[in-house]
Amino acid sequence: MSGLAHYLEDEGLATVIVALVREHIVKMRPPRALWVPFELGRPFGTPGDGGLQRRVLQASLALLDKTLTAPHLEEFNEEAPIHDDSNWHFPGSLDNSGVLAEAASVMPIWRLARERIGRSTVGISGLPPQSAVEFIARFHDSEPMPNPQGMAPVSRARFAVDDIKAFYLEAAMAEGGQPSARQLHEWFWSGTLAGELLREFQQRARVSADKNLQLIAGSLVPAERTDWFLHGLKSPEQ
């Protein structure tokens, strides 16, 4: 979207980007951008919170009133409200002897969740859930897991990361409940070996000699779950 903003501005159309990944905006330097501290997929905050969504919209449109001579990035300094479910817990136990064993222990719980919900978003990588975990775990090994035909390795890795997150988070809803996104993310990123695996994979992608891996690094882990963010830095380069 940042690249498209540059194109539209060249054609005389004013643009504003509402951005979730700050480092992308810093690198792409669109003419006007509002960074919001919300989870990926929710650029206007909590679903159903009309007041918050209106304030985000007003803050973004206000950028059009500014006279700018250089790309401008502004921060929306309001967190989305959190409504935790005190009764929610992960409906099972995790095998913590290794990430592949952990994924195997999630599998029967995920199957129950899929039956209860009636659908699943797991599968965009073309790999079964446990294979997606193994693909990422072995990606930087001297003997990585063979990549099936039909998709470049980096593209499959990008989609495998999405499949892993969906696999675990869908399993977390096997017994229902109404946990907040914060609860689910806290459980996944801080309480599972898969979350640790993805953070490590992102760090290696950032410093990889493969430019394609570097390009996807910023979208693998939510900013608030990265080590650089938790240490109070605005970007991983600081």
Conformational region of residue 100, where left means phi above 0, alpha means psi within -120 to 50, and beta covers everything else: alpha
**Mean pLDDT, rounded, of the chain:** 88
Are the beta carbons of 73 and 53 closer than 8 angstroms? no
pLDDT tens, residue by residue, 188-223 = 999 999 999 999 999 999 999 999 999 999 888 887
CA torsion 195→144→97→167, rounded to 10°?
A: 40
pLDDT tens, residue by residue, 89-140 = 999 999 999 999 999 999 999 999 999 999 999 999 999 999 999 999 999 9
pLDDT tens, residue by residue, 18-70 = 998 887 888 888 889 999 988 767 889 877 789 999 999 999 999 999 888 88
Q: Is 33 helix (H, G, I), strand (E, B) or coil?
A: strand
Domain range summary for the chain, segments of one domain joined by +: 2-75, 99-230
Predicted structure pTM score: 0.71
**Is the pLDDT confidence value at 148 over 70?**
yes
Band the pLDDT of 2: cuts 50, 70, 90: low
Token pair for residue 238?
């600081």
Sign of CA dihedral 127, 133, 134, 140: positive
